[in-house]
Amino acid sequence: MLKAFIEAARLRTLPLSLSGIIVGSFLAYADGYFNWMICVLALLTTTGFQILSNFANDYGDGVKGTDNKDRVGPQRALQSGAISPKQMLNAIKTTGLITFLIALILLYMSFGKDNITYFLLFVGLGIASIVAAIKYTMGKKAYGYSGYGDVFVFLFFGWLSVLGSYFLYAKQLDWTFFLPATSIGLLSVGVLNLNNLRDRISDEKANKMTLVVKIGEKLAKYYHYYILIFAFLFAFLYTTLHYKSPLQFLFVIAFIPVFMNLYTVYKSTDTRKLDPELKKLALSTFLFAMLFGLGQVL
């Protein structure tokens, strides 16, 4: 049973979800605001949200029959019968509660009693994150079934993750931080788009109207190219605006596999075979976060 839950947690998705926190933390370190306790708690909170989202996704697609024999990729827990819907629902509730408690500790460590307005604002954002994680595939109005998954991934994995984590340290923001936050958001959307390209046929049969299903494979490929190219351009623009050393362009190394992914998608004649590319792009995003961050502090 434990093994089944570990597999359902989809640990391979964690590097992608942590990328925004890493960028925000490096930016805070570069500005002299870094705090190890806030960093650790932020990483734990994000990990909890990602696992919660994965459990909810498994449950939502499982009970709706989206995860079936037509689906490409690893078999899900409910689909295989390793975990029952009731057991997964209990896991969702438990994970959500534990994550929310960790988030409250994080916010208290960051804001204390002196910034109650900021504390309440981030409590609201935490609740919104939990709702977003659950409502992606669960419920009658799951936004992942209506083509809005890309928007939510961009906002939560990109802007909220990078800008929110930096604000926890510094209690202020620079508008230019939206540039690397946008890069992380776009790369995260790229991973989701690969997933939806891979599952296009099975999603369409299950009436899961992802953006790929709505616009079709050809346009979804062009969409993918633009996502990756603009992710690079926003990071390049930020680095140019804040240029101090050539080391700030370390992140360019991470875009070598990113643009290889772009070429692979371009050459693909069967998008169902793109499953290996999800891991590659997710790890490339994590590599970008690390190299971009290191470039700010070296």
d(CA 166, CA 24): 5
8 A C-beta contact, residue 163 and residue 24: yes
Q: Which of 161, 168, 173, 191 is nearest to 19 (CA)?
A: 161
Give pLDDT, residue 13: 84
**Residue range 43-52: mean pLDDT, rounded:** 94
293 residue type, one letter? G
d(CA 78, CA 92): 13
d(CA 200, CA 198): 6
198 residue type, one letter? R
Give 129-139 pLDDT, tens digit per residue.
988 888 887 77
Nearest-10 crossing angle of helices 2-9, 36-64: 100
Tokens of 207: 């009436």
d(CA 58, CA 44): 21
- Tokens 């971009």 belong to residue: 292
Tokens of 228: 């990756």
pLDDT bracket for residue 183 (50, 70, 90): very high
Residue 33 confidence (pLDDT) above 90: yes
8 A C-beta contact, residue 226 and residue 266: no
Counting residues of the chain whose pLDDT is more than 90, the rounded percentage is 68
Residue 294 confidence (pLDDT) above 80: yes
d(CA 248, CA 54): 34
Burial class (CB in 10 A: 0-12, 13-18, 19+), 157: buried
8 A C-beta contact, residue 229 and residue 174: no
Domain residue spans of the chain? 13-297
Secondary structure percentages of the chain, helix, strand, coil, to 5:
80, 0, 20
Give 250-290 pLDDT, tens digit per residue.
999 999 999 999 999 999 998 888 989 999 999 999 999 99
d(CA 24, CA 33): 11
d(CA 169, CA 32): 9
Give pLDDT, residue 196: 93
Give first-to-last CA distance, the chain, whole Å.
45
Give pLDDT, residue 113: 83
d(CA 224, CA 265): 8
**Residue range 171-191: mean pLDDT, rounded:** 97
Nearest-10 crossing angle of helices 275-297, 178-198: 170
Give pLDDT, residue 8: 79
8 A C-beta contact, residue 129 and residue 49: yes
Q: Which of 68-82, 141-155, 164-178, 226-240 has the lowest mean pLDDT?
A: 68-82
Q: What is the mean pLDDT of the chain?
A: 90
Give 57-86 pLDDT, tens digit per residue.
877 777 766 655 655 656 666 766 778 888
Residue 212 confidence (pLDDT) above 90: yes
Give pLDDT, residue 252: 97
Three-state DSSP state, 171: coil
8 A C-beta contact, residue 56 and residue 133: yes
d(CA 234, CA 230): 6
Give pLDDT, residue 73: 59
What is the pTM (predicted TM-score) of this model? Answer: 0.93
Give pLDDT, residue 84: 82
199 residue type, one letter? D
